[in-house]
Structure 1
């Protein structure tokens, strides 16, 4: 095993790539009673066009299949994975994002048994026509539920504006129509291609001895066979700025109109620690312009253009990144114009001062250090960053080395009028012409 000790954070990380290609990361935290394991594949909802591992021709799969596959893996041939974890006192869960799917458990004892359960149920798929049809009804109900959620619709409305004709604009669960096209055969193709150990990582964090844990994992994997390793060829549509839809609105049963303004990042090749630095710059820029201590927030709030629902985020993942700013408001058009003007006039903005930058940077470092007290936070973020080559425990150092000049350079390349779009949800009966 490779061992790296982060002196400042007092964290030690053990890593090894097994013979089958599985990347294993062990982070012992012996002062904790809980252990958390997360098994992740580099396969998410946007990966709907690829060359299967046992073929040479590209296929396009139905939207929502990554999420569908996540649901199906919990159903074994003779038992349910949740029952296995419950038997050993563990809680289990899973989630699918745009770019990955993760399966996880947390427990205070029977760590060996729970680790083996995690590996075994993910690596023992069972797809039947009957089970697949049953799952379609369950997921269709889930999709319909989110169709009535204004916040969900606001977010995906913005993504449809920023990324039209791109899988990013489709709900991670797919659509009611798209999941009807899913078959056991398609599930197996996706599983064989993306659930190969070489496209996955396993991270364990908590109360265990690293050598003993690695032995458990190695023995488990040695007893299984997999298809020969083959590089995965994925295809994603281009995301040119010309495709952006500047504005769209819809109507729903809401108490007040909702506005979300987005800025599409056109630099999509940033990876590793460079991507984390990019994210730090985007997040700090938003905090300087719109944080609770900024003059813009105070002005917007005092004028009634925004309320306590106001929020913002910088979102970055494999092959895409964007800013999103949202709020409920009685004056959608006025708020949109104000937000755009603030973003486009960044160069002369009084909030971008060295003094304020230093304070916000210290605050970001403090929040990051506090987050390191959570096993769940470390596990989820560390496993996600592994696919891009970034190191979670190096993020604090990246924040420290970031300068105000870095923020200004980022703003200069990012904040362009042609990269912006707005999605608005109006109250029913209030749609403008």
Structure 2
């Protein structure tokens, strides 16, 4: 299997930089990932996402325009675990590099621009809340992780958005945007000399722009779930929407890295419930399942979980069948081999997508892992190791369900 050509440098502040060399690629990518996301403790929920939006605002205006002037496009995203800022371009990397650090390393929060942003994000949140899948996921998270950041949307709540101030935003920034919780990544057709130059410049820029101080390492916090495990809510939907939440254990306690456990559980879900599984075909023929389901597996500092969300006109039968398939029907060795081949094919496809490969390498870096080692861990996995891992995870898991009853069922 091909491996990424990665040069890594660690700086005294705890900051880390990686350059992924992909010869013959004209496209280039640079970004900074911050080990701070929506599930992490913060003064107001939604703070991580709010920061992502507001860091583009500088005293001179929107910094995105300065990227555009040199032919680069810039963007950012917030997940449960991290926030990432990045730029894609073909030329002028020496101009893009300091702009990335200025984007992440300087703030300009005012009462006016924070209030304006609060209203914009509130509209964004309102759109999400109209989505039945969002509603199902929200109820599952409320049961699995009550009174945590996971129990609310990444964007926050109406209340938290109204309470946001420049002072609170700056406090959240100062506590989390520190050198030892950040990593730079570049990917593209850089030469060996350019790689050395990038790493030298990164050392100067991180010293100039970033806060260097010691912070407490992030760790998994165990939260007690609600006693209620099943929820049924009447809705105006024509077809019921059904969600299954699986509260997963601390993966380290079953002897697995987070990335390996996530991949193994995703493979299991695809093998048992995915569109290529015999079970999925059977559910469609019986009219129990209308379309492919959303399958997600996540690990966060607030807890690990998987969610399964689908539409069904027979929600009770759907839940009965899916629980049986999950807990009673083992994955065959044939299905396991197929999933490994799918994982390898996905890895090969990602090699030609610079943005994807760079973002994944940065995300793995926050776990002191790498794209190469994570891929190798799955490709070297035996069926017995896979089977044992799935059994150990499921044995320590807890299942929750939410059903938005369609009109015919509600009546």
Preserved contact between residue 221 and residue 301 of structure 2 (Cα < 8 Å): no
Deviation at 1:153, TM superposition (A): 2.0
Q: Does 1:78 align with 2:60?
A: yes
Taking structure 1 as reference, are residues 35 and 65 closer, same or farther at Cα in structure 2, changes over 3 Å only? Answer: same
Q: 2:328 aligns with which of 345, 368, 376?
A: 345
Aligned to 2:345: 366
Q: 1:421 aligns with which of 383, 397, 400?
A: 400
Map Cα deviations across residues 108-164 of structure 1 (whole Å, 9 max, x no partner): 111111121111121111111121111111111111111112222222222222222
Aligned to 2:213: 229
Taking structure 1 as reference, are residues 427 and 10 closer, same or farther at Cα in structure 2, changes over 3 Å only? Answer: closer
Deviation at 1:82, TM superposition (A): 0.9
Preserved contact between residue 47 and residue 236 of structure 1 (Cα < 8 Å): no
Q: 2:267 aligns with which of 278, 284, 292?
A: 284
Taking structure 1 as reference, are residues 344 and 220 closer, same or farther at Cα in structure 2, changes over 3 Å only? Answer: closer
Q: Distance in 2 between matches of 1:359 and 1:128?
A: 54
Q: 1:178 aligns with which of 160, 183, 192?
A: 160
Q: Which runs of 5+ in 2 are unaligned?
A: none
Q: Distance in 2 between matches of 1:294 and 1:184?
A: 51
Q: 2:374 aligns with which of 395, 407, 418?
A: 395
Preserved contact between residue 381 and residue 392 of structure 1 (Cα < 8 Å): yes
SS at match of 2:304: strand
Deviation at 1:89, TM superposition (A): 0.9
SS at match of 2:57: coil
Q: Does 1:39 align with 2:32?
A: yes
Taking structure 1 as reference, are residues 180 and 388 closer, same or farther at Cα in structure 2, changes over 3 Å only? Answer: same
Map Cα deviations across residues 225-259 of structure 1 (whole Å, 9 max, x no partner): 73x5122366875324x535311133444341111
Aligned to 1:213: 198
Map Cα deviations across residues 355-392 of structure 1 (whole Å, 9 max, x no partner): 33223212221222222221111111111111111111
TM-score (norm 2): 0.92
Q: Distance in 2 between matches of 1:244 and 1:413?
A: 23
Deviation at 1:320, TM superposition (A): 2.7
Q: Distance in 1 between matches of 2:268 and 2:209?
A: 48
Aligned to 1:410: 389
Q: Distance in 1 between matches of 2:17 and 2:108?
A: 25
Taking structure 1 as reference, are residues 327 and 224 closer, same or farther at Cα in structure 2, changes over 3 Å only? Answer: closer
Preserved contact between residue 271 and residue 388 of structure 1 (Cα < 8 Å): no
SS at match of 1:177: helix
Q: Distance in 2 between matches of 1:283 and 1:312?
A: 8
Q: 2:359 aligns with which of 374, 377, 380?
A: 380
Aligned positions of 1:180-259 closer than 5 A: 180-208=162-190, 209-224=194-209, 226=211, 228-232=212-216, 238-240=222-224, 243=226, 245-259=228-242
Taking structure 1 as reference, are residues 83 and 251 closer, same or farther at Cα in structure 2, changes over 3 Å only? Answer: farther
Deviation at 1:337, TM superposition (A): 0.9
Q: Distance in 2 between matches of 1:239 and 1:275?
A: 18
Preserved contact between residue 313 and residue 325 of structure 1 (Cα < 8 Å): yes
Taking structure 1 as reference, are residues 156 and 145 closer, same or farther at Cα in structure 2, changes over 3 Å only? Answer: same
Map Cα deviations across residues 327-357 of structure 1 (whole Å, 9 max, x no partner): 21101111001111112213xx4xx322332
Aligned to 1:135: 117
Q: Distance in 2 between matches of 1:280 and 1:222?
A: 36
Preserved contact between residue 3 and residue 372 of structure 2 (Cα < 8 Å): no
Q: 2:310 aligns with which of 327, 334, 337?
A: 327
Q: 2:148 aligns with which of 152, 155, 166?
A: 166
Q: 2:12 aligns with which of 7, 19, 25?
A: 19
Q: Distance in 2 between matches of 1:133 and 1:218?
A: 35
Please, what is the CA RMSD of the aligned residues? 2.4
Preserved contact between residue 268 and residue 319 of structure 1 (Cα < 8 Å): no
Q: Distance in 2 between matches of 1:367 and 1:33?
A: 22
Taking structure 1 as reference, are residues 272 and 62 closer, same or farther at Cα in structure 2, changes over 3 Å only? Answer: farther
